[in-house]
Amino acid sequence: MQVDFIIVGQGLCGTFLSHQLLQAGKRVYVIDTNKPFSASKVASGVINPVTGRRIVRTWLIETLMPFAVEAYTQLGNLLQANFIKPAPIIDFHTTAQMHLAFADRLPHETTYLHQLPNEQPWKDVCNYHFGAGMITPSWLVDLQLLLPLWRQHLQLLSCIDDMHFDQTLLRVSDFRVQYKNVTAKAIIFCDGVQGSSNPFFQQLPFALNKGEALIIHAPKLPATHILKHGLSIVPWIGENMFWVGSTYEWTYADALPTAAFKQKTETALRQFLQHPFTIVEHLAAERPATIERRPFVGLHPLYQNVAILNGMGTKGCTLAPYFAHQLAQHLVHHAPIDPHANVQRFSKILSK
Ligand SMILES: Cc1cc2nc3c(=O)[nH]c(=O)nc-3n(C[C@H](O)[C@H](O)[C@H](O)COP(=O)(O)OP(=O)(O)OC[C@H]3O[C@@H](n4cnc5c(N)ncnc54)[C@H](O)[C@@H]3O)c2cc1C
């Protein structure tokens, strides 16, 4: 079989890259193991424009957010589904300092930070002692729907295989790559955390971290907003279902759910929520984060037909559509890649 591009991985990165390349009229062949606990499958799907204790704008958000909203909407139109909806974040401050930090930023960040218009209904739902503010526009992406629907679409086009990609079977020559019986002009690795042990790209400064989440059933909790009180409570697929998380663990024995997280989160939730809930599921995954908090996008400096789209860290929903588009444009039309994301910035390390 002959295609234009082989793509390894169908998380957020592989999904948007295969979509972009198909849109450009290219033939793609995607290989993905369809593991249940990849980052994209465990993620809550939030696009939050601000970050950190100082509540500053996230990198490039003025460009990335409208691009992402358009990209999810377009993909939804193609697959006749709705993958994205507005979801204001209510930031219930957990300390007096956080309340002050929010109040200080409010006059300076009038696009994304707002007073909570009507606090009263929330007083009957949650226990909080230091006030609350609102972050909006912010968005919620339905990854639980998007990933399988895109996979189904690729299956209908006969361009995805559900299998493990074995690096030892890849042959890379100057003008083409070959994997088993498939030849292509180039291969692109969208392999998430596995990228940190990929022989072509393992020297890159990955900084994997682990996150856990509980899925709860909470019949009296409104599903109109994302609630933050240390933890985030995010509407999830299914009626009255919510995703609750997460942690950022830098040292861990494995990527499995832990009893400690479950216990700590359940206790915090019982204190915060006034209404009953039951725990339905417990998820965990590693995030493909990077030391500089910028993605890895582009061609390997030594192998001009081996590329990467990875390093989305905590922001895959915001970053993946935009950088998949940049990489596709680069592969097809040699368009430039943002130098802060272009993997060429590591050409010395990758050329060793
Ligand atoms: C708990 C948690 C919560 C998160 N919440 C959010 C959020 O609210 N908003 C947000 O923007 N981001 C969030 N993220 C981050 C987001 O999930 C990631 O940035 C994003 O999903 C990364 O996508 P990816 O395609 O690079 O990797 P992945 O989703 O890991 O996809 C990689 C795919 O490649 C496949 N693969 C790898 N190696 C091989 C191989 N050799 N052969 C075949 N297949 C292979 C894997 O099976 C997988 O399907 C969260 C992450 C976690 C863990």
Residue-level pLDDT at 53: 87
Cβ of 44 closer than 6 Å to ligand 1, yes or no, is yes
Q: How far apart are CA 223 and CA 240, in angstroms?
A: 7
Per-residue pLDDT reduced to its tens digit, 254-312? 999 999 999 999 999 999 999 999 999 999 999 999 999 999 999 999 999 999 999 99
Task: Report which protein residue has its CA nearest ligand 1's atom 16.
Answer: 316
- CA of 46, closest atom in ligand 1: 8
Q: What's the gap in Å between 38 CA and the centre of ligand 1? A: 5
> Among residues 120, 150, 126, which one has the least CA distance to residue 40?
150
- Residue of 144, 191, 231 to mutate, ligand 1, most atoms within 8 A of C-beta: 191
Q: For position 175, what pLDDT does the model report? A: 87
Residue among 40, 200, 202, 242 to mutate when testing ligand 1 (max atoms within 8 A of CB) = 40
DSSP states along 35-71: -TT-HHHH---EE-SEETTTTEEPTTHHHHHHHHHHH
Helix (H) or strand (E) holding 343: none
Binning pLDDT at 50, 70 and 90, where does residue 40 land? Answer: very high
Asked whether the predicted pLDDT for residue 127 surpasses 90, the reply is yes
Average pLDDT in the 83-88 region? Answer: 98
Question: What's the token pair of residue 300?
Answer: 């390997």
Q: Which one, of 2, 11, 3, lies nearest residue 38 by Cα?
A: 11
Percentage of residues in the chain having pLDDT higher than 70: 100
Average pLDDT over residues 176-204: 98
Mean pLDDT to the nearest integer, 318-334? 98
315: amino acid identity, one letter: K
Mean pLDDT of 214-225: 96
Domains of the chain from N-terminus onward:
5-42+144-204+292-350 (3.50.50.60), 89-136+209-287 (3.30.9.10)
Q: Look at residue 254 in the predicted model and tell me its pLDDT.
A: 96
CA of 349 to the centre of ligand 1 (A): 24
SS (H, E, C) 84-117: EEECCEEEECCCHHHHHHHHHHCCCCCCCEEECC
